[in-house]
Amino acid sequence: MSKIITTNETLSPLKAHLYVLGCKVNQAEIYSVSNMLESLGLKVDQQSQHPALIFVNTCCVTDSAAGKSRRLVGRLAEKYPDSKIVVAGCLAEINPTMVNQAAPGAIVLGTYAKDHLLEILSGRNTDVDFLNSIPASSCSEFSAAWVPAPSFRSRAFLKVQDGCSHRCSYCIVPIARGPSRSMELRKAVENAKFLVDAGYSEIALTGIHLGAYGRDLSPKTGLENLVEEILAGASDCRLRLSSIEPQEFSDRLISLIKQNSRICKHFHIPAQSGDDEILKRMFRPYNQELVAELTEKILESAPDACVGMDVMVGFPGETDASFEKTVEFIMTTGCGYLHVFPFSPRRGTVAYGFSDRTPARSSRYRVEILRKLSNEFRSKFYGKFVGRTLHALVEYAGQSKDEWGKGLTGNYISVQIKGLDKTHEGKVVPVLIDTVRNNEAYGLLTFE
């Protein structure tokens, strides 16, 4: 294969488009890709009508996600027939044929190849076929390609872990991403400092299996050590943690949360079900009692915290009684919101072979019930803070102080804010919460 990028310094920089679907890890990666392209002489410009290069980071965690990825690639190939299209991400690893059918001329990069993306883009390694012949299971080290870079958002994403070595019965991600691998602790702290020096007031630590951080390093370390080191080494920023498995939320981590105000009081737990029998069939290494105890510990240590949960419905064998157990369980946890999704059979997983699948109509009905419940949880949680001052990261300041801007509090409340100007964007400011309407909080910039 010839070099993907060819530039001519006597001409204006070539333009590139970037597209991302799926998880926060995919989002973190897209910023690294942007940085790579800029270093190679391309300008990322989503408004360009004639991009020389289009990069798409895909997802396939569910059938719906895979379909969205495929359709996006197809639309881009049709709209920009003269552009080079590079497709990476989980769908590119699991089903490259689907990508090729959507865009026959696209360059498709599996997980191992994507970890060598800078070499490919720069032309130092043009044997993409060989790289694609190596499965994700051979990814043994955290790729040096994934360095922090300025994002398109007010917060910075720092990817510190990739892959997963646990095989839940329903999950395609370990096959798509490969085994768990971690960024070296010293490097992670250096990268956090870089982002603070770049002006970010909040860093979100991301990983496919964040709670497994450091187990593969030598010497071994853990997420708690990483959090402590970043807090000590990267001052003047707040730290947000992405999803952490229930069994990996240690007492030491909870103690850190209680002691340090710079840790955002927002924690997302992939609980998946409130029925222990279903959890066993999912190969989840905990029971609902552990999740209940965990949420209680978190809220005792940080009463203003928002605890969100992933919940899967319609898993094979989930009866009406099983679902009722899940609803009853969720009602007792003090949960602030739910991320609800139906079971999606993925070829290559154990659950794909389960014959006792839940009817699609039942799954849709259960999703609707839990999403309605989530809205109620969120409204109740937001309402607790009316009349109180919270600190919000300003995402958009509006055009004038009389226009509503937007921010996100440390405990994950989306708030419309008046009284801002452009100097506040990307900064953490005190906001007096005035009212809550339709799951949106409204407040005023205030002074403490």
Residue 214 lies in a domain: yes
pLDDT tens, residue by residue, 420-436: 999 999 999 999 999 99
pLDDT over 60 at 121, yes or no:
yes
For residues 314 and 258, state if they share a domain.
yes
**Element (DSSP H or E) covering residue 65:** helix 63-79
From 383, 404, 435, the end of a domain falls on 383
Mean pLDDT within 291-320: 97
**Residue that finishes a domain, picked among 134, 168, 198:** 134
One domain, residues 266 and 187:
yes
Does the residue 358 lie in any domain? Answer: yes
Examine the domain organization and report whether 395 and 366 are in the same domain: no
98 assigned to some structural domain:
yes
Residue 300's pLDDT is 96
b/e per residue, 396-428, with b = 16+ CB within 10 A?
Answer: bbbeeeeebbbbbbbbbbebbbbbbeeebbbbb
Residue 143 included in any domain = no
What integer is the mean pLDDT of 114-133?
Answer: 89
Domain CATH number, residue 418: 2.40.50.140
Of the pLDDT bands very low, low, confident and very high (cuts 50, 70, 90), residue 122 is confident
The pLDDT tens digits of the residues spanning 242-297 come to 999 999 999 999 999 999 999 999 999 999 999 999 999 999 999 999 999 999 99
Dist CA 29 CA 16 (whole Å): 16
pLDDT band at 377 (very low <50, low <70, confident <90, very high): very high
- Per residue in 58-79, pLDDT (tens digit) is 999 988 899 999 999 999 999 9
Look at the chain and count its residues: 448
190 with 255, same domain?
yes
Q: Is it the case that residue 153 has pLDDT exceeding 90?
A: no
pLDDT for 9 beyond 60: no
Judge if 273 and 305 occupy the same domain.
yes
**What pLDDT does 410 receive?**
97
Specify if 140 maps to a domain.
Answer: no
Q: Is the pLDDT of residue 8 over 80?
A: no
Report whether pLDDT(157) > 80. yes
Chosen domain end from 102, 134, 166: 134
| Residue 188 reports pLDDT greater than 70 | yes
Rounded to 10 degrees, what is the CA torsion of 388, 392, 398, 402? 20
- 141 occurs within a structural domain: no
Q: For residue 221, what are its two tokens? A: 């370390």
Tell me phi and psi for residue 14, to 5 degrees: -65, 150
Q: 49 has which bridge partners?
A: none
6: pLDDT strictly greater than 70:
no
Residue among 448, 447, 426 nearest 201 (CA):
426
Across 69-94, average pLDDT: 96
Mean pLDDT (the chain) is: 93
364 and 393 assigned to the same domain: no
What is the reported pLDDT for 133?
A: 95
Residue position matching structure tokens 């991400």: 89
Amino acid sitting at position 164: C
Domain that includes residue 175, residue range: 156-383
Which among 146, 235, 224, 152 is positioned nearest to 192, based on CA atoms? 235
- pLDDT confidence of 160, banded at 50, 70, 90? very high
pLDDT digits (tens, 9 = 90+) for 386-396: 999 999 999 99
Question: Do residues 175 and 217 both lie within one domain?
Answer: yes
Inside any domain, residue 2: no
Q: Report DSSP letters for 365-384, one per residue.
A: HHHHHHHHHHHHHHHHHHHT
Kindly state the percentage of the chain with pLDDT values over 70. 97
Mean pLDDT of 204-231: 96
Query: How many domains does the chain contain in total?
Result: 3
Q: Which residue has the higher pLDDT, 149 or 269?
A: 269
Look at 64-78, 115-129, 320-334 and tell me which has the smallest mean pLDDT: 115-129
In terms of DSSP bridges, do strands 156-162 and 202-207 run parallel, antiparallel, or are they unpaired? parallel
Asked if residue 129 and residue 233 are part of one domain, the reply reads: no
- The CATH number that applies at residue 224 is 3.80.30.20
> What CATH number is given to the structural domain containing 49?
3.40.50.2300
pLDDT value at 32 more than 60: yes
My answer on whether 407 and 346 are in the same domain is: no
pLDDT of residue 63: 87
- Please indicate, yes or no, whether residues 318 and 422 belong to a single structural domain of this protein: no
Specify whether 112 is located in the same domain as 54. Answer: yes
Q: How confident is the model at residue 3 (pLDDT cuts 50, 70, 90)?
A: low
Residues 275 and 163 in one domain: yes
Cα–Cα distance measured from residue 84 to residue 443, given in angstroms and rounded to the nearest whole number: 46
For residue 6, is it within any domain? no
The pLDDT assigned to 149 comes to 78
Q: In what helix (H) or strand (E) does residue 428 lie, and over which residues does it extend? A: strand 428-437
